[in-house]
Structure 1
Amino acid sequence: MGMAAYDKCHPATINSQWQAFKSELNEFLEERTIAEAADVFHSLGRLIWKLTKIPLHLLAFPTVYKHSHRFANYGCIRSQRNCELSCRKSLPPAN
């Protein structure tokens, strides 16, 4: 649900996925950790999905888990420092 809500608010384009991949790669080069590597793999998978409809991004489970945890906690898949909060108005009310 989190990724779908984010994509509804920020429709994925080839360019946006390319920019996300470059951003994640730069973050990995600054901090070479398994979590950052998973983020790179996830963003590359989303770019490949946009080009081919092959859902490789789902294989990056650590990032998928991190996004779902963030979404459950504060309604955004992005880190709190990067969350724009603009998508919250389009989310269904919490139960």
Structure 2
Amino acid sequence: MSNVPGPEKTQYWNGARLERFYPVSAIVNHMALNITIISYEDRLEFGIVGCRRTLPSMQRLLQYLDDALLELETDLGMSPPHKRQSKRAKQALSE
């Protein structure tokens, strides 16, 4: 897992506002999972890459991460936007 501090101010590319930064990493020998986090403005963006042979249900991991972040926001008194779970996410959790 790594956390890459990103810019705190809005960035532009050829005059277009950059709305998001998405970190992407690679899996190398003897590594099953890589989680990279980058901050941009007032947000954190997550990039998750995993070996399918070692971690066959990455969707389940994403749901656990989403649940943990929701719990943290609730504990901190923040009101996160309500998101409906996709059919794909529900199906992955039922496997």
TM-score by length of 2: 0.28
Instruction: Compare the two structures and name the one with the higher helix fraction.
Output: 1
Bigger radius of gyration: 2
RCO higher in structure (CA 8 A, sep ≥6): 1
| Structure with more strand by fraction | 2
